[in-house]
Amino acid sequence: MRKRTIFFGVIVVAAAGIWVNNTSLLSSRPAGSPEVLAHRGLAQDYLRAGMTGETCTASRMLPPRHAYLENTIASMEAAFALGADALELDVHPTTDGKFAVFHDWTLDCRTEGKGETRNHSMAELKTLDVGYGYTADGGKSFPFRGKGIGMMPSLDEVLSHFPAHRFNINVKSNDPGEGEKLAARLATLSPAERFYLSVYGGDKPVAAVKAALPDMHTLSRASLTQCILRYAALGWSGYVPDACRKGTLLIPVNIAKWMWGWPNRFLDRMQGVDSRVYLLGPYSGGDFSQGLDDPELIKQLPNGYSGGISTDALDLIMPDIKERFAPPAESTP
């Protein structure tokens, strides 16, 4: 009987220690508001049911809510003006040594061009209409045709146009050589300029970027998986695995609540190893996890949540974020 009592006493003490080490009730983290990452800037929404990696999303556009096209300078300006703190953009190497900011592997969906994006020069890509293929009625009308000519920017243009702004740069391939080329471009920036940038995408190019530029914030499927699994196993102790360090973490909101110390202790630990955390929408299996696009999900965020969120619907959720996380009005004497 005494041994059993001692055993249960040890269990209770251990459980209490784990609770104290992970409860946000004892965190000194000040209340704040979310850092908002706008996916592809201010983009057109599209029907997602039945979508695959090969789906032409421009042909599934929903009726437009605004006049902007993703991954363009104008859409980025609009996103920052609405209150985004960081933007995600997609890049492809070009035949003349540049990086084109464009989502699709091929040109056939959004533009009048043909073939793989990377098989063209930046000069050629500048002649295309990035609004050419958008339709919300099965091809009966094309509301953006003729309005996107010359609007595909290079990465150089974006970084020059938006100094000291945060960007998550998405490498669309799994080619390590592409990572080496991107690292060479980013190496021309100062460490202070690179601080605002993060690189994510295929395991091999991201690993190449990290090897060349250890100070870069990076994210790949491999690093995220290792981070989450190892933290799930050991994070109760406050230990942060190397895979979580100096990275960018995109975590579905329904997974985040299982992270040890969620929300404030977890955010403190990630901040302590210089990693940035962004919540996605709920993960329900498969290859896709949407951004945090539902205003109802904004209402369910923890009070004073000061981590990040990633969204594909900045124009829909920003009013709710501002209302939900507005600082309390000062009382007048």
3-state secondary structure the chain: CHHHHHHHHHHHHHHHHHHHHHCHHHCCCCCCCCEEEEECCCCCCECCCCCCCCCCHHHHECCCCCCCCCCCHHHHHHHHHHCCCEEEEEEEECCCCCEEECCCCECCCCCCCCCEHHHCCHHHHCCCECCCCCCCCCCCCCCCCCCCECCCCEHHHHHHHCCCCEEEEEECCCCHHHHHHHHHHHCCCCHHHHCCEEEEECHHHHHHHHHHCCCCEEEEHHHHHHHHHHHHHHHHHCCCCHHHCCEEEEEEHHHHCCCCCCCHHHHHHHHHCCCEEEEECCCCCCCCCCCCCCHHHHHCCCCCCCCEEEECCHHHHHHHHHHHCCCCCCCCC
Whether residue 63 is predicted with pLDDT greater than 80 in this model: the reply is yes
Q: What is the pLDDT of residues 288-297, one digit of tens each?
A: 568 999 999 9
* Confidence band for 34, pLDDT divided at 50, 70 and 90: very high
Q: What is the pLDDT of residues 41-62, one digit of tens each?
A: 999 999 988 777 778 999 999 9
For residue 288, the model assigns a pLDDT of 58
Please report where in the chains the tokens 């962004």 appear, as a residue.
Answer: 278
Q: Give me the catalytic one of 66, 120, 161, 217.
A: 66
CA distances from 259 to 217, 282, 293 (A): 21, 15, 22
Q: What is the pLDDT of residues 235-255, one digit of tens each?
A: 999 999 999 999 999 999 999
* Confidence band for 19, pLDDT divided at 50, 70 and 90: low
Summary mean pLDDT of the chain = 91
- End-to-end alpha-carbon separation of the chain, Å? 64
Whether residue 116 is predicted with pLDDT greater than 70 in this model: the reply is yes
Q: Residues of the chain with pLDDT > 90: what percent?
A: 82
Closest CA to 56 of 44, 66, 68: 44
For residue 21, the model assigns a pLDDT of 76
Q: How many residues comprise the chain?
A: 333
Active site includes 161?
no
* Confidence band for 327, pLDDT divided at 50, 70 and 90: confident
For residue 265, the model assigns a pLDDT of 95
Vertex 169 angle, CA 163 and 175, to 5°: 140
Residue 37 backbone dihedrals phi, psi, to 5 degrees: -105, 115
For residue 27, the model assigns a pLDDT of 83
Whether residue 131 is predicted with pLDDT greater than 70 in this model: the reply is yes
Q: Give me the catalytic one of 39, 103, 120, 217.
A: 103
Q: Residues of the chain with pLDDT > 70: what percent?
A: 92
Average pLDDT over residues 193-209: 97
Average pLDDT over residues 149-163: 98
Residue 265 backbone dihedrals phi, psi, to 5 degrees: -65, -40
Whether residue 10 is predicted with pLDDT greater than 60 in this model: the reply is no
Q: Which residues pair with 35 in a beta bridge?
A: 308
Q: Is the CB of residue 66 less than 8 Å from the CB of residue 43? A: no
Active site includes 165?
no
Average pLDDT over residues 294-308: 92
For residue 9, the model assigns a pLDDT of 58
Closest CA to 36 of 328, 305, 241, 233: 305
* Confidence band for 329, pLDDT divided at 50, 70 and 90: low
